[in-house]
Amino acid sequence: MPANDLMALLHELPKLVNDDEVLTRQGRFLDTDVLLGIGSTPCHIAIRSGRIASLECGPGFMRSWSFAVRGGENAWRQFWQPLPPPHFHDVFALAKAGEFTIEGDFYPLMSNILYFKRMLAAPRRIAGGAI
């Protein structure tokens, strides 16, 4: 999958999260800013009351964030497969394998871990065989 297709998949994240009633209820008290690094492209996600208020990608802008999850394009491709291969199923497994880095304030991440695991895995539902 070319990088632009990977970004197109990521841009579906607000709809996937905001239309997920269980996920938005689970994060209803969550307000934070997250940085996802997809290869060399930073993507800023603003979460307000469990909903994705904005998603902006691209170099050249500086935004503050609580924590960041960064990984190479291939790692994200593997992670977003409908049935990821071993060691690509979880952000912490990818971090342990050296494919992802997780940095910043771990408090919002760890206190809402099930929300973030489900949020980050949401693109799997539409990835199908495209990856």
Q: Structure tokens of 21? A: 């009633």
Parse the chain into domains and list their residue ranges. Answer: 3-124
pLDDT in tens, 19-75: 999 999 999 999 999 999 999 999 999 999 999 999 999 876 678 999 999 999 999
Q: Which phi-psi region, left, alpha or beta, contains residue 92 (left: φ > 0; alpha: ψ -120 to 50)?
A: alpha
Q: Structure tokens of 78? A: 């593997």
Task: Please compute the mean of the pLDDT values over residues 79-84 and round it to a whole number.
Answer: 94
pLDDT band at 94 (very low <50, low <70, confident <90, very high): very high
CATH of 3-124, one of 3.30.1050.10, 3.40.50.2300, 3.90.1280.10, 3.10.20.30: 3.30.1050.10
Rounded Cα distance between 87 and 64, Å, is: 30
Q: Is 119 helix (H, G, I), strand (E, B) or coil?
A: helix
